[in-house]
A and B are shown apart, each in its own frame.
Chain A
């Protein structure tokens, strides 16, 4: 089979790039092993569901009612009673030292108030330094306090002979969790990791690509050849695209074998779209490489433009909707943002390509733009 000229030239560039990489087996090994390693690490290590939050209690009341209340927290899977405080001075050091997340203080008239049918207050002293844990702890606490209050009111009402309907809440809220019913964080983390880590590595690899040639002087030879800039750009990214693709498949398999996380939707569609994503991400690295003057600058800028936005602004770790509008706009320009929605959608929601069409279009547009920009930058440096 004879290929058209431009394909042959592109493959020649690809072969040269691949030969260069073959001489550096350690980098290759890292690029294959690292995503799997990180997947294992985070899959097992990250537990976003907060449980067994440590707390301490100072019960100044010591009645049946106060013990009853404390017991409800002790029995809960969300909290773990770390200490019963005897001396008020302990409170400071417990919170300062981070030994507990919050301290519960029950006042001396807690039981009396409840027995008389009055509302009773408890003080909650929270360590606000870790705001996420603190917010979630407050949420859990609110729920438990509500439950306890409900029970107390019901008992009190029954004793007074009031009808049951008087104590029933007006609204019956029926929560239903879709797509990830057990709220397993792994289901969310695995597709996210696959999307981000794999291409981060590839982008970092390509950042050295062109700068290397310039620094070592083989650039002129490349410029003198009949290969067009677009062919060079595509040819150079081919080996890295292949590596990234293998990485993605490998991670998907590992995710399935070890964590039982598999896409609910169509895997072939996912793989197809990931090719576009890989091309887009690689070209960011190549663009940096063709603009940078030294390798050090290239790696630094590549790091700033791929790793940082990829991890922070793309929605990988933090929800894009919670960010200031400026960052939300920037996020739309990052390939990872769109791909994350797609891969999570296919993994968790089983949605089809019709739903993601606008996002896929965005990826294609970004990829094309980057290829053109890179080729243009390349052409400029040739002169």
Chain B
């Protein structure tokens, strides 16, 4: 491996590159939603709505249209994700004290961002509606207070609800997972392809020593990467790290054991580097999406939720998020620790055994 300095540089740069990309791209915060308005009322009251949209951090006023056909065209082309239609009698209804309609069209393609964006818009309009109502009542001489429920939310661990704080601990695990697994598998298969593996077998090197020699560098690289990522996460992205760093690294080492094991297993079933890459892809993609990285596991169909118990990454995610954001320790995380250790030992042993068998 030392013969390939480009590779070594890659081993350090790649995770940084990945982390930065992930950190900034992986955001589920809804922002800059383009909205077009079809304002047929053209009253002072309807213009206030346009102002509110312009000022809101969630929306961008993408333009005004004349009629419904134009409105639909903007949505079709994706130039707007939402559209408001304010009818002719809007101001009149308000002045008469009747409910004034506003039609809100939402592009439902991306159901998640549509739901969130619709929620924000509803909030914006309801807020305006409440202010209008108060004015109406004042003019009518009615004083309405009355009972209502107010919720006082207090958010633990991630008060500004930055999705970055949610994603980056997950990315930490993902990068370690992917890197150690991909490279262990690849390097072994490469030797097999080039034929140098057989050469090694003739030497007095024992299979166990060969195994350790092949996987140790990548384990070390994995831990180094982990260190770099933690530093970046904490000081560049500002992700809080409340828990014990030592515990984090200890568990990262255990998790690396699992990925090494998987990498070894991949190398034994692959004859070419291409196959190894595809096999890795085959294992990484389902693990990522079913482990709770993007979407909570509890919301998946029962059978898939059960399958996720078999994915080591799932437990490591709970560990990283727990240590980063919640500052919890062994007392809370011990079930995950036990499971991870069990997986680590089992997978590494399986990988080692099949590696040895393959050599014979």
Mask for A226-247, Cβ within 8 A of B = 1, else 0?
A: 0000000000000000000000
Is there contact, CB below 8 Å, between A120 and B108?
A: no
Is there contact, CB below 8 Å, between A296 and B158?
A: no
B205 within 8 A of A: no
Q: How large is the interface on A (under 10, 10 to 19, 20 to 34, 35 or more residues)?
A: 35 or more
Is there contact, CB below 8 Å, between A152 and B146?
A: yes
Is there contact, CB below 8 Å, between A27 and B165?
A: no
B258 within 8 A of A: no
Mask for A183-214, Cβ within 8 A of B = 1, else 0?
A: 11101100000000000110011001000000
- Give Cα distance in the complex from A313 to B23, angstroms: 11
Q: Which of A44-73 contact B (CB under 8 A)?
A: 44-52, 54, 69
Is there contact, CB below 8 Å, between B17 and A304?
A: yes
Mask for B154-196, Cβ within 8 A of A = 1, else 0?
A: 1111110111011000000000000000100011001000000
Partner pick for B14 among A113, A121, A133, A304, CB 8 A cutoff: A304
- The residue of chain A having its C-beta at the shortest distance from the C-beta of B162 within the complex is A131
Mask for B272-299, Cβ within 8 A of A = 1, else 0?
A: 1111011101100110011000111011
Is there contact, CB below 8 Å, between B10 and A300?
A: yes
- Give Cα distance in the complex from A30 to B144, angstroms: 67
- The residue of chain A having its C-beta at the shortest distance from the C-beta of B133 within the complex is A170
- The residue of chain B having its C-beta at the shortest distance from the C-beta of A347 within the complex is B109
B309 within 8 A of A: no
Shortest B161–chain A CB gap in Å is: 4
- The residue of chain B having its C-beta at the shortest distance from the C-beta of A21 within the complex is B274
Mask for B315-340, Cβ within 8 A of A = 1, else 0?
A: 00010011001101000100000000
Mask for A28-55, Cβ within 8 A of B = 1, else 0?
A: 0011001001100110111111111010
Is there contact, CB below 8 Å, between B151 and A128?
A: no
- The residue of chain B having its C-beta at the shortest distance from the C-beta of A359 within the complex is B78
Is there contact, CB below 8 Å, between B149 and A122?
A: yes
Decide: A170 near B296, CB < 8 A? Known: A24-B272, A97-B332. no
Shortest A171–chain B CB gap in Å is: 4
Q: Which of B113-162 contact A (CB under 8 A)?
A: 113-116, 118-119, 122-123, 125-126, 128-130, 132-133, 136-137, 140, 142, 144-159, 161-162
Residues in A neighbouring B187, C-beta threshold 8 A: 296
A129 within 8 A of B: yes
B75 within 8 A of A: yes
Interface of A is mostly: helix
Decide: A128 near B157, CB < 8 A? Known: A42-B289, A175-B106, A321-B34. yes
Is there contact, CB below 8 Å, between B161 and A128?
A: yes
Residues in A neighbouring B325, C-beta threshold 8 A: 128-129
The stretch among A4-12, A137-145, A364-372 that forms the contact with chain B is A137-145
- Give Cα distance in the complex from A47 to B137, angstroms: 44
- Give Cα distance in the complex from A93 to B114, angstroms: 34
Is there contact, CB below 8 Å, between A131 and B166?
A: yes
Mask for A78-93, Cβ within 8 A of B = 1, else 0?
A: 0000000000000001
Is there contact, CB below 8 Å, between B154 and A125?
A: yes
Is there contact, CB below 8 Å, between A126 and B98?
A: no
Decide: A45 near B272, CB < 8 A? Known: A162-B142, A180-B108, A183-B115. no
Is there contact, CB below 8 Å, between A188 and B109?
A: yes
Partner pick for A176 among B104, B110, B112, B304, CB 8 A cutoff: B104
Is there contact, CB below 8 Å, between B149 and A178?
A: no
Residues in B neighbouring A172, C-beta threshold 8 A: 99-102
Mask for A286-311, Cβ within 8 A of B = 1, else 0?
A: 00000001111101110110011100
Residues in A neighbouring B300, C-beta threshold 8 A: 45-47
- The residue of chain A having its C-beta at the shortest distance from the C-beta of B101 within the complex is A172
B28 within 8 A of A: yes
B217 within 8 A of A: no
Is there contact, CB below 8 Å, between A48 and B14?
A: no
Decide: A139 near B111, CB < 8 A? Known: A27-B274, A313-B21. no
Decide: A170 near B152, CB < 8 A? Known: A153-B146, A295-B273. no
Q: Which of B61-105 contact A (CB under 8 A)?
A: 72-73, 75-78, 81, 94, 97-105
- The residue of chain A having its C-beta at the shortest distance from the C-beta of B17 within the complex is A304
Decide: A130 near B166, CB < 8 A? Known: A170-B136, A304-B18. yes
- The residue of chain A having its C-beta at the shortest distance from the C-beta of B31 within the complex is A322
Is there contact, CB below 8 Å, between A96 and B326?
A: yes
- Give Cα distance in the complex from A326 to B271, angstroms: 41
Is there contact, CB below 8 Å, between B148 and A149?
A: yes
A272 within 8 A of B: no
Instruction: Tally A-B pairs: CB < 8 A.
Output: 357
Residues in A neighbouring B328, C-beta threshold 8 A: 96
Shortest B126–chain A CB gap in Å is: 7
- The residue of chain A having its C-beta at the shortest distance from the C-beta of B171 within the complex is A312
- Give Cα distance in the complex from A299 to B184, angstroms: 13
Is there contact, CB below 8 Å, between B110 and A319?
A: yes
Partner pick for A170 among B32, B129, B162, CB 8 A cutoff: B129
A26 within 8 A of B: yes
Is there contact, CB below 8 Å, between A142 and B109?
A: no
The stretch among A217-225, A253-261, A275-283, A348-356 that forms the contact with chain B is A348-356
- The residue of chain B having its C-beta at the shortest distance from the C-beta of A184 within the complex is B111
Is there contact, CB below 8 Å, between A131 and B122?
A: no
Residues in A neighbouring B107, C-beta threshold 8 A: 178-179
Partner pick for A355 among B77, B161, B295, CB 8 A cutoff: B77
- The residue of chain B having its C-beta at the shortest distance from the C-beta of A180 within the complex is B108
B56 within 8 A of A: no
B30 within 8 A of A: yes
Residues in A neighbouring B290, C-beta threshold 8 A: 41, 45
Is there contact, CB below 8 Å, between B147 and A120?
A: yes
Partner pick for B147 among A138, A152, A349, CB 8 A cutoff: A152
- Give Cα distance in the complex from A30 to B278, angstroms: 7
- The residue of chain B having its C-beta at the shortest distance from the C-beta of A312 within the complex is B25
A262 within 8 A of B: no
Is there contact, CB below 8 Å, between A47 and B299?
A: yes
Given contacts A170-B132, A175-B106, 15 further A-B contacts (CB under 8 A): A41-B286, A50-B296, A54-B298, A126-B156, A152-B148, A166-B140, A172-B99, A172-B101, A176-B106, A183-B115, A208-B274, A308-B18, A318-B26, A323-B25, A351-B76
A and B contact pairs by CB, cutoff 8 A, 7 listed? A24-B274, A48-B111, A134-B161, A156-B146, A204-B281, A321-B33, A349-B75
